Amino acid sequence: MLEKAVARPLVLRPFHHSFWIAGLGLIVFVACVLGIVSRPVGMLAAIWPANAILLGLLVSKPLLASPAGWVTAALAYVLADLVTGANLGQALFLNAANMAGVVIGFMLFGRLSSEHRHLRRPLSVLYMFANSSLAAIGAAFVGAAAVHISFGAPLNHAFVAWLTTELVNYVVLLPVFLAAPISSDASRVGAASIAASARAGSPWPLVSLVASCAAALAIGGPGAFAFPVPALLWCALTYGLFTVTVLTAIVGVLTQIAVASGALHFGVSGVAEATLTSTRLGTTLLALCPLTVASVDAARRALIGRLSHAVDYDFLTQCLARSAFMTRAAALVAAPARKDGTVVMMLDIDRFKAINDTYGHAVGDRVLASVARAVRAALRCDDLFGRLGGEEFAVVLVRQSPSDAFRVAERLLEAVRSLEIDLEQGSRLAVTISIGAAELSANEARLDGLLLAADRALYQTKAAGRDCVRSAHCAS
């Protein structure tokens, strides 16, 4: 008997969970070391990716947010400081601020819907920015106190430096993890998404982005870090959301490194902390532009995909609706591949009117859905399957000989025979179908001729007792 697939929650086995937790710790450790070596001025890193990476991993993979995951991440923070020369007290105090920001961010993102967490709605980037700001503020309060006690820096300066560093890294890096493809994305793919994928092959937005970054380094000046914005907007309108988040993160990280190292000069001597603070805030706000455009465009494409699916697919059976089936089948029959063998089959549920009259239309709907599901499971992915109306369905097989098509028809008959529809009284209803098939002749290129011949064969099937297949050749 065919059984309906049931979605099950992902459960990691103990070994796999330990493997992922160890990987989490290693990633955080490496990210911390990279941040520590980027300290050109003062005692704070010019770029600190560890917090954004940790938060992104925990939000996108909640199974990692176990007690073992949090402890492993905390140990990775402290170990990175210790191996790079910090004393234990400073390491504990400074990384308490790092963990505070991640904890606050994780709690805030947990309150958002899945669509907003993965930046799939027009306002998602705004929510991401608000949550990142609150997480950065919380970390800055603890971090400012830690820096003041450990290094004697003024509280206000330490607070601003910590806040801007946290904020820019959250806004620039976190979207990469939030927008990463998830398993349920396949259900959202529609005609608009396919069209977007075709456009994504254009290299010119990426070329313009590289050119604008090169121009920023060559020209310099206070406005140089904004040069890539038009190119990023072009990318946001051309590429997918995840690609845009990656490009924005690369530009944002490289901008911070270029400013901190002096490669991107602003016409001032040296790299003052005020310059770093200003560019961090500027990079944060500029990154919001392409991210918002990409998020809105992704939401628009998803909506178009859902609307296209609603138009092209029958709501009850989830097979092609009549109009979409006729359009695609006509194109398929006219395609060169038809010369390799094209067969059209008409399917009809036996005694369906009696089922509706005896058991009601609710049971009839379940029969339609169950039969459609069974037939779809028995076909290849490139075979066309549609509902023409009522209990009548049609199938177009390509690259199939008559004998192969007959075996497919027998497989469909057996799949439907195996169905048992549960009734309220505890009994079960057996269902069968009748099939009429027509093979495309060498000089016939019309879908309507094939359908007519298959329909005639279907009447022969019913006259022969139903639950079988009859075929007819379509003459020119």
451: CATH? 3.30.70.270
- Band of the pLDDT at 272, cuts 50, 70, 90? low
Q: Is residue 161 part of a domain?
A: yes
Q: Mean per-residue pLDDT for 128-143?
A: 96
pLDDT the model gives residue 90: 84
Q: Two tokens at 425? A: 């009284």
Are 303 and 358 found together in one domain? no
Q: Mean per-residue pLDDT for 349-359?
A: 92
**Radius of gyration (Cα) for the chain, nearest Å?**
31
Please determine, for residue 195, whether its predicted confidence score (pLDDT) is greater than 80. no
Are 190 and 337 found together in one domain? no
20-29, 232-241, 257-266, 386-395: segment of lowest average pLDDT: 257-266
Are 163 and 100 found together in one domain? yes
Q: Is residue 6 part of a domain?
A: no
Are 362 and 259 found together in one domain? no
Higher per-residue confidence, 274 vs 418: 418
Higher per-residue confidence, 116 vs 202: 116
Cβ 441 vs Cβ 380: under 8 Å: no
With a CB cutoff of 8 Å and minimum separation 6, the contacts of 399 are: 337, 340, 341
pLDDT the model gives residue 338: 54
Q: How many residues does the chain have?
A: 476
User: Which of 252, 276, 310 is the last residue before a domain boundary?
Assistant: 310
In sequence order, the β-bridge partners of residue 348 are 392, 434
pLDDT the model gives residue 44: 59
Please determine, for residue 404, whether its predicted confidence score (pLDDT) is greater than 80. yes
Are 204 and 152 found together in one domain? yes
Higher per-residue confidence, 6 vs 66: 66
Higher per-residue confidence, 339 vs 110: 110
With a CB cutoff of 8 Å and minimum separation 6, the contacts of 390 are: 352
- Band of the pLDDT at 201, cuts 50, 70, 90? low
pLDDT the model gives residue 183: 54
Q: Kindly report the backbone phi and psi dihedral angles of residue 148, in degrees, each rounded to the nearest multiple of 5, phi listed first.
A: -65, -45
- The tens digit of pLDDT for each residue in 213-243 reads 999 999 888 788 889 999 999 999 999 999 9
Q: Mean per-residue pLDDT for 141-165?
A: 88
CB atoms near residue 325 (< 10 Å): 24
407-411, 427-431, 438-442, 469-473: segment of lowest average pLDDT: 438-442
| CA-CA-CA-CA torsion sign (114, 17, 172, 155) | positive
Cβ 55 vs Cβ 167: under 8 Å: no
User: Which of 288, 310, 332 is the last residue before a domain boundary?
Assistant: 310
pLDDT the model gives residue 402: 84
Are 225 and 145 found together in one domain? yes
pLDDT the model gives residue 340: 63
Largest CA distance in the chain: 96
- Band of the pLDDT at 188, cuts 50, 70, 90? very low
Tell me which residue of 91, 24, 11 sits closest to 64, measured CA to CA: 24
Are 304 and 345 found together in one domain? no
Are 198 and 332 found together in one domain? no
Please determine, for residue 405, whether its predicted confidence score (pLDDT) is greater than 60. yes
How far apart are the C-alpha atoms of 442 and 366, rounded to whole Å?
40
Tell me which residue of 432, 391, 393 sits closest to 410, measured CA to CA: 432
Chain mean pLDDT for the chain: 85
Q: Mean per-residue pLDDT for 121-137?
A: 96
pLDDT the model gives residue 399: 83
Q: Domain of residue 444: give its range.
A: 322-473
Q: Mean per-residue pLDDT for 138-166?
A: 89
Please determine, for residue 198, whether its predicted confidence score (pLDDT) is greater than 80. no
User: Which of 257, 285, 310 is the last residue before a domain boundary?
Assistant: 310
Please determine, for residue 431, whether its predicted confidence score (pLDDT) is greater than 80. yes
Higher per-residue confidence, 17 vs 73: 73
Q: Is residue 397 part of a domain?
A: yes
Q: Mean per-residue pLDDT for 140-148?
A: 90
How far apart are the C-alpha atoms of 53 and 59, rounded to whole Å?
10
Number of folded domains in the chain?
A: 2
pLDDT the model gives residue 150: 78
pLDDT the model gives residue 265: 75
Please determine, for residue 268, whether its predicted confidence score (pLDDT) is greater than 60. no
| CA-CA-CA-CA torsion sign (432, 433, 434, 436) | negative
Alpha-carbon separation of residue 437 from 16, 236, 331, 379, 434 (angstroms): 51, 48, 19, 15, 10
Are 304 and 326 found together in one domain? no
How far apart are the C-alpha atoms of 91 and 146, rounded to whole Å?
10
Please determine, for residue 292, whether its predicted confidence score (pLDDT) is greater than 50. yes
Q: What percent of the chain has pLDDT over 90?
A: 59
- Band of the pLDDT at 74, cuts 50, 70, 90? very high
Higher per-residue confidence, 164 vs 334: 164
pLDDT the model gives residue 5: 37
